[in-house]
Chains A and B, each alone.
Chain A
Amino acid sequence: MSQFIVVNPSKCIGCGTCLLACSAAHKEVGRQTNPRLNLVQTKEVSATVTCHHCQGAPCALVCPVNAIKFDGDMVVVDEKCCISCKMCALVCPFGAIKLSGTSVAGVAGIQVETPTFPKGTSDIIAWEIGVYAAAVKCDLCSFSKDGPACVNSCLTGSVQVIDKSHHKKLLNDKRIKASVELEAIAKDTSEGRNVLETRSVLQGGKTLDNKNSSEDRSNQ
């Protein structure tokens, strides 16, 4: 059984509060601060994308030094062991693995960054002089009793953690909805009504409330 974080795009306002919450929570426990969620904004979608703690995690499979392992239901990276080979970042199907190091520039506004590459460069190959970067990804804030910081900080409730209880409830809701719909269609067709017509009536009706339909989208 795994657990992971998802976002409901119809609630996401693209404000980035989750990114900073992630960064701050990890900074507090001495881990790397590059946000472990990625905010994606296309014309249709605003959402954050992060690690799904895949059971067949390709990142764990390719890691040559066993820095990525399963810990119960989570896939974890040992930032101290990482050799920064970036294989995990290349194979992750969600683009969820990033590199993060501690920059020496910008401290107290004295030192100046001296970029050696354009900012559009992929952060997998971008390399800052003097910075040893480790692979970082979502660890579900397992160090905190409060759970994932991104979920707690989201002001619209868009970022959610899918864990055991939530998952079961979500599936049950879907099954209830499906059964109501199927029963209704069966009943109506026996009375000679058009299936499509029935469907459109149902979709405009009370059986599909907004909350459920938006959760469906997030889970696809």
Chain B
Amino acid sequence: MEKHMAVCPYCGAGCKLDLLVQNGKVVGVEPLNGITNEGELCLKGYYGFDFINDTNILVPRLLHPMIRRKKGQPLERVSWDEALDFTAKKLQEIIDKYGPESVMLTGSSRGPGNEANFVMQKFTRACIGNNNIDNCARTCHGPSVIGLMDAVGSGAMSVSIPNMENADVIMLFGYNPSASHPIVARRIVKAKEKGAKIIVCDPRYIETARIADLYLPLKNGSNLAMMNAFCNIAVNEGLIDKNFIDEHVSGFDEWWETIKNYTPESVQDITGIDPELARQAVRMFATADNSIIGWGMGVTQQVQGVMVVHTIAAFACILNQIGRDNAGLAPVRGQNNVQGSCDMGMWPSLYPGYQKVNDPAIRAKFAKAWNVPEEKLSLKEGFKLTDLPHAVREGKIKAFYNFGEDGLQTEPDSIDMKNVLESLEFYISQDIFMTQSTALADVVLPGSSWGEHDGVFSASDRTFQRFTAAVSPPGEARHDWEIFQDLSTRMGYPMHYNNTEEIWNEVRELCPNFYGATYERMEGLGYAQWPVPKVDEPGATTLYKGGQFNRPDKKALLIPHDFKKPTEEPDDQYPLILCTVREVGHYSCRSMTGNCQALSGLADEPGYITMHPDDAAIRGIQDQQLVWAFSRRGKVITRADVTERCNKGTVYMTYQWWIGKCNDLTMHQTDPLSGTPEDKFSACQVEAIADQVCAENHMQDLYAKLKKRLADEAAPQNVALKSDPSMVAA
């Protein structure tokens, strides 16, 4: 049996593992002693490998390129040459007719790795000539990236995952590590065992609440009121570090003008938190030697996401709980390489290495390195992923190139998103599976899967780690970076990389903070944590040591904001708050884990809607029954999970389900500062279903039809290629 070293392709914890290969197939996984996982894996790490083998449990792998010659026609298998010629010609026509700004692309924060994303953004910027490139961080930790760059200068975790277990206090704010990152939850359990105090602020009684020293069940949608009150308490009780603020923080007086109004008493109606409990939490966090604050989607997928991130950063800074190994900020990233996508400049305002696109000096550097005239590289910020719906409607975006994302599953208001994708003039999807989003594409390009290519991932705590290919791509599937470079060459901007190391070395040359992370250094269990400017120096476990923030004046900036209510509040017709959350045994749009035998066996459609026993009782709903859930946008069938861990008045749905699809109900309302959707708050209603056996069969019928539809969409790839292209054209 062969063993091939890899990094888990699921959450951002960056767990090292070996893929076990027998007769050309991946047959198992063994944990390795990586820096973040220490020889442990969670269920997705152990049992999330067999999708590579095209199990057809959920959807088929893409094996051959296919095109739709005209809208409405079925997909047709073609050669790679024909698929790429067709794509290049169509894109060029759109650029000639509407200008380069009319093309939008999205990177993949999942299996492809940093190199493929780097080549894609280079294609976007140097070949197409715009900055319309984004990634799924937009719908995820985008507010953390933006908010932290504003406040402290770097949009990443300031502490490392291993160091979390040595903190004296860990506060979790809108973050459920047991479901999102079990390997991080393990560090929190270890911290607790070593004597750390745990504070959990979450409307739901999450796993960590059970071991928390203080649990603050704040109301859904009250984050900013709560964080402002925390800051208010810190100042009013004299817990702040005045010397640290004088030397390393700016904007305090102006900030206080707003924050002084937010006593815990004044916001108690909004937060539902007893002022004394809030005071205890702040005292505990402030007076410990080293405190870490971790947050997740509970903070970012809200209409005031960026503002709460600003305030979290302010809270850590005024208390001087930042810039030490066990004190600081921990926004733990959701997808395995969403940190990497941001690192690689899959962001409409940033080149790789967080270098601004509107800085002429930076542009000059990239133009020189990429051998294009400076005018070719746009100084204008591009479209955000969540701009897609309105930009398509307004006729600004005509073509969309999707790389390994399934927007119809992961973006809010999926019914509307379908209309958007259908009304594009030209839509390319490069993926490994026939997902719901890929099924609408005019060009389907089969990329290689994790396990079939080499590369570097960035774990959530800025740790670069290498992963390697275990098997060859199936059928005619090709490495993603090869597809991009061939397309770029056809469109008049030639690229010729021979392997991922060549690409990575170009990244290193262009990004001073990544320069020291050589392939050699990351061999085996090696790693490099950025900023790592030199080859012979260790990387940075911790950011902002000695209060040196990554802003121009080296100081952190306090930015005050007033609280605003969520957009769609419950009413008589839709009396429940809908909040979307994650499934521990599945991942993202579920195209990978849904094709894994063990994981799909543990949890399958239609997923669950979690509700409080009282909310279930008044609707005549019993645990495990199928129910209707509906909102102003749509209606789906799902299954009730009745538990006292759920707060009254709110229901929670995991976003992995294709039948029990919560994003048919959510609303496309975004944080104006980041474009991140307000997935954590919309209004809905839930209804009992009388005939449960009929409902069970209806659900199975819907599921079977969906799987069949996607299998049928992919079926033309199994038709042998017609040898004469002229015959096909006729």
Contact = CB atoms under 8 A, between A and B. Distances in A.
B292 interface: no
B56 A17 contact: no
Nearest to B208: A13
B645 A43 contact: yes
Contact of B625 (A11, A23, A120): A120
A119 B623 CA distance: 10
B696 A13 contact: no
Interface in B158-206: 177-179, 182-183, 185-186, 189-190, 192-193, 195, 205
B704 interface: yes
Nearest to A108: B56
Interface stretch (A49-57, A69-77, A109-117, A168-176): A109-117
A119 B41 CA distance: 30
Contacts of A117: 693, 696
B164 to A, nearest CB: 14
A19 B601 CA distance: 11
B178 A15 contact: yes
A183 interface: no
A42 B644 contact: yes
Given A10-B211, A46-B210, A108-B56, A210 B195 contact: yes
B643 A16 contact: no
Given A46-B207, A118-B693, A112 B701 contact: yes
Contacts of A44: 210
A42 B624 CA distance: 15
Contact of B700 (A115, A120, A211): A115
B56 A13 contact: no
A155 B37 CA distance: 9
Nearest to A154: B40
A114 B193 CA distance: 47
A160 interface: no
B43 A17 contact: yes
Interface string A153-185: 101100000000000000000000000000000
B703 to A, nearest CB: 8
Contacts of A147: none
B599 interface: yes
Nearest to B710: A109
A157 to B, nearest CB: 9
A171 B513 CA distance: 54
B700 A112 contact: yes
Which of A13, A41, A43, A106 lies at the interface centre, i.e. has the most chain B CB atoms within 10 A of its CB? A13
B210 A114 contact: no
Nearest to A17: B43
Contacts of B178: 13-15
A209 to B, nearest CB: 9
Which of A33, A118, A153, A211 lies at the interface centre, i.e. has the most chain B CB atoms within 10 A of its CB? A118
B697 interface: yes
Interface in B31-60: 40-43, 46-47, 55-58
Contacts of B58: 109
Interface string A1-41: 00000000111011111011101100000000100000001
Contact of B57 (A16, A20, A106, A210): A106
Contact of B46 (A20, A41, A43, A109): A20
A119 B598 contact: no
A155 to B, nearest CB: 4
Contacts of B43: 15-17, 19-20
Interface in A86-137: 106, 108-109, 112-120
A13 B186 contact: yes
Nearest to B190: A156
Contacts of A42: 644
A46 B643 CA distance: 13
A22 to B, nearest CB: 10
Contacts of A211: 193
Interface residues of A, number: 38
A43 B584 contact: no
B416 to A, nearest CB: 28
Nearest to B596: A20
B182 A13 contact: yes
Contacts of A21: 46
Interface string B619-639: 000111110000000000001
A114 B693 CA distance: 9
Interface in B229-270: none
Contacts of A19: 43, 602
A33 B186 contact: no
Given A16-B584, A23-B598, A118-B693, A155 B182 contact: yes
Contact of A155 (B47, B186, B205): B186
Nearest to A23: B598
Interface in A175-220: 210-211, 214
Contacts of B695: 118
A155 B183 contact: yes
Which of B189, B692, B711 lies at the interface centre, i.e. has the most chain A CB atoms within 10 A of its CB? B189
Nearest to B189: A156
B61 interface: no
B711 A109 contact: yes
A112 B703 CA distance: 9
Contacts of B585: 16, 20
A155 B47 CA distance: 14
Contacts of A156: 185-186, 189-190
A153 B39 CA distance: 10
B379 to A, nearest CB: 47
B697 A115 contact: yes
Interface in B344-394: none
B693 A153 contact: no
B668 interface: no
A44 B210 CA distance: 6
A114 B703 CA distance: 12
B186 A112 contact: no
Interface of A: 9-11, 13-17, 19-21, 23-24, 33, 41-46, 106, 108-109, 112-120, 153, 155-156, 210-211, 214
Given A15-B42, A109-B707, 10 more contacts: A13-B177, A13-B208, A16-B602, A23-B598, A24-B598, A33-B601, A109-B58, A114-B697, A119-B626, A155-B40
15 contacts: A10-B210, A13-B207, A15-B182, A17-B182, A20-B598, A21-B46, A23-B602, A24-B46, A41-B643, A43-B205, A109-B57, A117-B693, A153-B41, A155-B40, A210-B193
Q: Which 3 A-B pairs have the closest CB atoms?
A: A120-B624, A118-B692, A115-B696
